Amino acid sequence: MFWPLHDMYGDGKSMYTLRTIYDSEQRSFKDVDLLGSFMDNHDNPRFLCIFPGNITGFKSAITFAMTARGIPFFYYGDE
């Protein structure tokens, strides 16, 4: 979910990508709720580095990641 969350809440792109991702995960994995959900990670620039000042988008992305299917993972600094 890393790039789709950045696309939706940072660039304002459509949320229809989520439906495609969830459909694909449902076909590929036995239990989708056991997958990890990353809003940011240590291998890529953080949300606020890519979209500086977009606090509303950042908070929305975190809220989505916390309430979406899967296990949410957050890194130091995002709290």
Show me where the domains of the chain are located. Answer: 2-73
For residue range 31-64, list pLDDT tens digits in order: 999 998 888 888 889 999 999 999 999 999 999 9
- Is the overall model pTM greater than 0.75, yes or no? yes
For residue range 22-33, list pLDDT tens digits in order: 899 999 999 999
What b/e string do you get for 26-51 counting C-beta neighbours within 10 Å, with b at 16 or more?
Answer: eeeeeeeeeeebbbbeeeeebbbeeb
* Helix (H) or strand (E) run with residue 37 in it: strand 36-38
